[in-house]
Amino acid sequence: MASQDSPVWLITGCSTGFGRELAKLVINRGWTVVVTGRDKARVQDLIAGAEDRAMALDLDVTNTGQIAAAVREAEARFGAIDVLVNNAGYGYQASVEEGVDAEIRSQFDANVFGLFALTRAVLPGMRNRRKGHILNVTSVAGFVGFPGSGYYAASKHAVEGWSDALAAEGGPLGIKVTCIEPGPFRTDWAGRSLVQTRSKIPDYNDTVTARMKGIVEVSGDQAGDPVRAGKIMIRITEIENPPRHLVLGAIGYHTVTKKLRAALTEIESWQETSVSADFPRA
């Protein structure tokens, strides 16, 4: 962490996108890092020339055996894991009505249960050392459910709520938690990390179908820069009081703040009804 010359990072999903750019930046800083991917051959190039302080590992976060092995190898070689970046995951889009059960469960296995399992494996070391920082890459969808993204949003909402509890439990033990909540970024997410079940119901043409088509069409032209995002992620691990929420990108920022303001306004407008649900005071 901030007090260490070379914190040890473990980053999931380093084959492409945020994970790959972040891994490059951490290595270029001269820090120690474990880069992982479902096929380590796709991330091996990242550690070239830095093998003394970096290693590549196979890690499918839905595989509990690989999780245990990766954490064991990382701690055995480098002594600790100071920063865990839960970046691995993917998107699934469908109308809520047409969601395919197997696809929904597969997404939750990667985005939610795999993230939970890896974090549980890393927590004992952080707790014993009374320090650590966990970065969970969620999404603007962790706050806002868009047409066609109900199940993806559900997975990210789950991580956000779980992270609140983790921060409350880990905070007194020196463990910090930040959710990274990107809006649209130029990571080829739509091309490589998105599964879609196309809607066949005409009633959803103007909502689900239009949004799913639009996401694919703008892929490669998003405003967000994954390198800038990686630099920001590094910066927040170096400060004493990092944010619990970090929305990235102007579109993400304006989307989330608009949603939260509207939600607060609505909740407050119903205050009298809300408090009337209690037993009357004597």
- Specify the DSSP class assigned to residue 253: H
Higher pLDDT, 222 or 34: 34
Residue spans of the domains in the chain: they are 8-270
**Average pLDDT rounded to a whole number, residues 244-273:** 97
Question: 275 is written with which tokens?
Answer: 């408090």
Annotated active-site residue 151? The verdict is no
- Cα–Cα distances in angstroms (integers) from residue 177 to residues 8, 14, 169, 194, in the given order: 16, 20, 10, 26
- Cα–Cα distances in angstroms (integers) from residue 26 to residues 8, 14, 231, in the given order: 10, 12, 9
**Average pLDDT rounded to a whole number, residues 253-267:** 97
Residue 64: exposure state from Cβ atoms within 10 A (0-12, 13-18, ≥19): middle
pLDDT digits (tens, 9 = 90+) for 1-42: 433 578 999 999 999 999 999 999 999 999 999 999 999 999
8-270 has CATH 3.40.50.720 classification: yes
Question: 272 is written with which tokens?
Answer: 């009298």
Give residue 78's Cα distance to chain centre: 24
* Cβ count near 278 (within 10 Å): 7
E-only strand ranges, the chain: 8-11, 32-37, 54-58, 83-86, 91-93, 132-137, 175-182, 194-196, 245-248
Q: What percent of the chain has pLDDT over 70?
A: 95
pLDDT at 248: 96
Question: 174 is written with which tokens?
Answer: 């020196």
Give the confidence band of 52 by pLDDT, cuts at 50, 70, 90: very high
Instruction: Return mean pLDDT, the chain.
Output: 94
Give residue 134's Cα distance to chain centre: 10
For residue 136, the SS3 value is strand
pTM: 0.93
d(C-alpha 77, C-alpha 56), whole Å:
12
Q: Given 90, 92, 151, 152, which residue is catalytic? A: 152
